[in-house]
Amino acid sequence: MTAPRTGILTYFRTSPTFTVLFLVMFTATAGMGIVGPLLPVYAEKLGASGLWLGLAFSGFAVTQTPLMPVFGRLSDRFGRKPFLAGGVLVYALVATGMAFAPNFHVLIALRLCGGVGAAMLFPVAMAYAGEMSPEGEEGRFMGLFNVATMIGWGMGPLTGGLLSDHFGMAAAFLSQAALAGFAFVTVLLRLPSTTRRKSAAGQRQEGAGASLLRSPVVWALSAFQFAWAANQAILVSFSALYLTSNLGAAAAMVGVIFSTRQIVSGLLQPLGGRLADSFNRTLLIVLGATIAGIASFSVPFAGSALAVLLIFIVSGASESLSVPAVNAIAVEQGRSLGMGSLMGFINTAMSVGLVLGGVGGGLVKDTFDIQGTFQFAGLLTLVGAVILLLAMPRGLGRRAVRATEAAVVLEEGTG
């Protein structure tokens, strides 16, 4: 007989730790979302141009990308809490410094430091959540956890725009500092340490790094995450330009479109998690990626900002199919390979995808036109889905399986 599924709200009622982690991630990502879109504008006012403007937005990836697997691996050995606390503290200090930056050189240097905070926060938070996830309910648990980051990112840009318009850009940065400071205090006072909660599998993770690199599942997930992130980088980087230059949309409408996509995705994450625990996870990932790819292809054919908004809503809904299923498979594998190590590795793939996706989209735009960038984004997503489908070992991820079953499938698939 199949065990009854846990209602998603039960996680909040029965696990104060999950509630605290959820609150920490929401406040941290909302703070980052507040200042992210403002950084290039702020840097330009401080005298930046050309490459410096690009670094004002993406410079954090320079430090974040190589450090995420490092901090993920260290959190497997020394516990999650110190790195979560360190990550949000770095963000609080960096945001405060940005509010009073005297020139764009200092601003960009602080942005680079912010990448260190991101490297400590995101993979370690996902590892913490994955460690708490009940076997057989990985999709539900991680889908609910994703709500915090998706809604946080979605609300951030609108809030940042309002703060900047009414109180100046310094107020937006100080609001991020306040949110990160609140998250830091919450982690210190309310979040338990994980050092004594290691499973038997977690205690046998010496040499897990080598196992990680030998796992076809890890490479399949990483390839997909790279392609998915590249798609998102292109949409974020070039949709605003397309909306304002080609469709004559106002800046406020652009913010509404981006925020709506994130909020739709966030609200649907729990539903996607339920599906990931009940149906074929690999096919859910492929289905979501196919819809997202078609949505990207459709952007140049949109005749109005409203049509783009509808496309972005579809894209957000497709994300709710793919992301919880990816996270569920990652959690299954993390129990034996090291949760922090694995989350660090696949988050690094995402970070590289964000950087190279933006660069690749720019090259396509310069070689062809801006419409071609959206077709390129759609193609990348479809290629990532095909690679995942072909690379996933026999049976693994094709249905929701418990960790013990997953280990047997992986051993059979690689034996």
The domain spanning residue 271 has which CATH number? 1.20.1250.20
- Which pLDDT belongs to residue 316? 94
Burial 356-388 (b: 16+ CB within 10 A, else e): bbbbbbeebbeeeebbebbbbbbebbbbbbbbb
Judge if 366 and 399 occupy the same domain.
yes
Q: What's the chain's average pLDDT?
A: 84
Amino acid letter at 114?
Answer: G
Per the domain annotation, does 202 fall within a domain? no
Please indicate, yes or no, whether residues 279 and 350 belong to a single structural domain of this protein.
yes
pLDDT of residue 3: 46
Supply the pLDDT for residue 403.
40
204: confidence class by pLDDT, cuts 50, 70, 90: very low
Asked if residue 130 and residue 246 are part of one domain, the reply reads no
Q: What is the pLDDT of residue 225?
A: 95
* The pLDDT of residue 374: 92
Asked whether the predicted pLDDT for residue 93 surpasses 90, the reply is: yes
Q: Which residue has the higher pLDDT, 208 or 38?
A: 38
Residues 109 and 247 in one domain: no
Quick one: tokens of 410? 């992986």
| pLDDT of 74 | 94
How many other C-beta atoms lie within 10 A of the C-beta of residue 8? 18
Co-location of 122 and 253 in the same domain: no
Residue 153: band (very low, low, confident or very high) from pLDDT cuts 50, 70, 90: confident
Check residues 254 and 311 and name the one with the higher pLDDT. 311
**Pair (138, 229) in one structural domain:** no
Asked whether residue 259 falls in the same domain as residue 117, the answer is no
* Chain-centroid distance, C-alpha 369: 28
Using an 8 Å Cβ cutoff, are 229 and 351 in contact?
yes
What mean pLDDT is predicted for residues 353-376?
86
- Same structural domain for residues 180 and 103? yes
| 392 — pLDDT class (breaks 50, 70, 90) | confident
C-alpha to C-alpha distance for 148 and 385, rounded to whole angstroms: 25
Q: How far, in Å, CA of 293 to CA of 232, rounded?
A: 11
Does residue 245 sit in the same domain as residue 109? no
Question: Cα-atom radius of gyration of the chain, to the nearest Å?
Answer: 20
Average pLDDT over residues 69-74: 94
Q: CA torsion angle for 373, 374, 378, 384 (degrees, to 10)?
A: 40
**238 in any annotated domain:** yes
- The reply to whether 233 and 379 lie within a common domain is yes
State in Å, rounded, how far the first CA of the chain is from the last one: 31
49 CB burial (10 A radius; 0-12, 13-18, 19+): exposed
Indicate whether 151 belongs to any domain: yes
* Residues 51 and 122 both lie in one domain: yes
Overall average pLDDT of the 145-155 stretch: 89
Host domain of residue 56? 14-191
Q: Which residue is associated with the tokens 């005298």?
A: 47
Task: Flag whether 217 is in a domain.
Answer: yes
Per the domain annotation, does 8 fall within a domain?
no
Among the residue ranges 62-66, 315-319, 403-407, the one predicted with the least confidence is 403-407
Q: Which residues contact 267 (CB under 8 A, 6 or more apart)?
A: 147, 151
285 within domain boundaries:
yes
Q: What are phi and psi of 338, to 5 degrees?
A: 105, 110
pLDDT, position 52: 76
The pTM of this model reads 0.85
Q: What percent of the chain has pLDDT over 70?
A: 87
Query: Rounded to whole angstroms, how far apart are CA atoms 128 and 130?
Result: 5
Q: How many domains does the chain have?
A: 2
Q: What is the mean pLDDT of residues 111-125?
A: 93
- d(CA 81, CA 125) in angstroms, rounded, equals 9
Residue 35 belongs to some domain of the structure: yes
Are 233 and 181 members of one domain?
no
Tokens, residue 191: 């979040």
**Residue 193's CB: how many other CB atoms inside 10 A?**
11
Three-class DSSP labels, 304-357:
CHHHHHHHHHHHHHHHHHHHHHHHHHHHHHHHHHCHHHHHHHHHHHHHHHHHHH
| Model pLDDT for residues 238-263, shown as the tens digit of each residue | 887 788 888 988 877 877 888 899 89
What pLDDT does 43 receive? 82
Is residue 3 assigned to a domain?
no
